[in-house]
Amino acid sequence: MHMKGKWLTFVLTDEDAGQSLEQILKDKMSLSGRSIQRLTRMKGIFVNQKKAFLEKKLKTHDEIKVRVEESNPNIPIFNRTIEVMYEDEWILVINKAPDLKVYPTHANDVQTLANAIQFYYQSQKRQAGIHLVHRLDTGTSGAIMVAKNSYAHQLFDKELKNNRISRTYIAIIEGAIQEEVDTINLPIDRCPTHQTKRCVSKNGEEAITHYQCLGKTKDYSIVKIQIETGRTHQIRVHFAHLGHPVAGDRLYGSTNRNITRQALHAYQLQWTHPIDDRKQCISAKIPADIQKLAQHIEMTEILERLE
């Protein structure tokens, strides 16, 4: 399977012969029933350069082409430069600045990452969508993946749900954490007494956080974290529950005033591309404010080992 321009192409092998077009679209090209219906309506599916019925039985070397082009979303541009760390026909990986929230929540909300991506597309004269594969909180910096069309979003969302996209974070937390390596497996739910907060609750959704302590003093620890689930505020809630809030995270009880946001950074994304099986590992440089905090607490050398 490969992409050229706005068309995704799949050529049948002997193993695929005898299956219907609909079967191949679902099983080999991972298209949902809804996507197939939409593509059929817009005349976006061809077999050997011709329109074909979904029930058509296919043979070896038949070539299926599916249109995956998507227009830019109808949102205003935000004239702000973004750091694109990786880009191909399917996705962008961006190093999100901590002050940006990822998507607008109302009509006048234009200073978001999505609006900045829209500006990037227009400045590059690109036609593409903005589909977040995962999210980062406002106040959290680092690597975030954005799909350029709904088909790519469907594929990468499936990879994420099957834990085939590895997400690694770096955080400075308050206090000397006891366990050097551990897994926090505590369910998370909305906090009943606060509109924004989340809390550990037996009635919540499963939330799994793996961490390794990279170094600590009596007042702070620097931890490398991998999340198996992606609940809202998951890392922040889990460490606060253990009595080690992320430094600067006032919402969850941090008393640190040497950083103006939570000292949490999405450091690395690793994945195998679901289209062409390429392995990728993209790291986002630790931002200046977290480096400054590390210097203040005399733990700079730990972050330097990551560079």
Q: CATH second-level architecture of 70-158?
A: 2-Layer Sandwich (3.30)
Task: Evaluate if residue 5 carries a pLDDT over 70.
Answer: no
Q: Are strands 2-4 and 7-11 parallel, antiparallel or unpaired?
A: antiparallel
Task: Evaluate if residue 70 carries a pLDDT over 80.
Answer: no
137 annotated active-site:
yes
CATH class of 2-67: alpha beta
Nearest to 239 by CA among 214, 207, 267, 270: 207
Residue 202 per-residue DSSP state: T
Kindly report the number of other CB atoms within 10 A of residue 183's CB atom.
11
Q: Are 184 and 211 in contact (CB under 8 A)?
A: yes
**Per-residue pLDDT tens digits for 81-134:** 999 999 998 999 999 999 999 999 887 889 999 999 999 999 999 889 999 999
Q: CATH second-level architecture of 163-307?
A: 2-Layer Sandwich (3.30)
- Mean pLDDT, rounded, of the chain: 93
In 217-285, beta strands by DSSP E: 220-227, 264-272, 279-283
The active-site residue out of 109, 137, 219, 289 is 137
Q: Which of 49-53, 132-136, 162-166 has the lowest mean pLDDT?
A: 49-53
Note the Cα 293 to chain centre separation in Å: 26
Kindly report the number of other CB atoms within 10 A of residue 25's CB atom.
23
Residue 301 in tokens: 């050398």
pLDDT at 3: 66
Task: Evaluate if residue 69 carries a pLDDT over 80.
Answer: no
Q: How far apart are the first and last CA of the chain?
A: 36
Residue 234 in tokens: 């998951």
Q: pTM of the predicted model, to two decimals?
A: 0.89
Task: Evaluate if residue 151 carries a pLDDT over 90.
Answer: no
**Per-residue pLDDT tens digits for 229-288:** 999 999 999 999 999 999 999 999 999 999 999 999 999 999 999 888 899 999 999 999
User: Is the fold of 2-67 the same as that of 163-307?
Assistant: no
Where in the chain are the domains? 2-67, 70-158, 163-307
